[in-house]
């Protein structure tokens, strides 16, 4: 179990997190944590598109048994 800490955020950010959390089936805290992880990874990898970073983080969160094997484009359809 991880520890939690309360923080103050502006009401507009909270409302956006609440809306996005509902769409993504996350808690509000989970949504803010997700944004923070995407932001941290984007800062650490400025040459990568944010959408790519978000997809990579999402795929890393999937259970391994649900993962699809990587198939290079050059071998698809052969």
DSSP 5-30: ------HHHHHHHHHHHHHHT--HHH
C-beta of residue 26 within 8 angstroms of C-beta of residue 34: yes
Domain ranges, residue 42: 11-60
pLDDT at site 52: 94
Look at residue 44 and tell me if it is in a domain.
Answer: yes
Cut 0.85: pTM above it: no
Look at residue 4 and tell me if it is in a domain.
Answer: no
Look at residue 55 and tell me if it is in a domain.
Answer: yes
Domain count, the chain: 1
- The predicted-structure confidence for 2-39, as pLDDT tens digits, reads as follows 788 899 999 999 999 999 999 999 999 999 999 999 99
- The predicted-structure confidence for 33-59, as pLDDT tens digits, reads as follows 999 999 999 999 999 999 999 999 888
């Amino acid at each position: 179990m991880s520890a939690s800490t309360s923080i103050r955020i502006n009401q507009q950010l909270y409302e956006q997190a609440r809306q996005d959390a509902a769409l993504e089936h996350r808690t509000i805290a989970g949504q803010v944590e997700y944004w923070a992880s995407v932001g941290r990874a984007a800062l650490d990898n400025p040459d990568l598109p944010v959408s790519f970073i978000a997809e990579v983080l999402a795929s890393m969160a999937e259970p391994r048994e649900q993962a699809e094997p990587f198939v290079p484009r050059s071998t698809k359809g052969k």
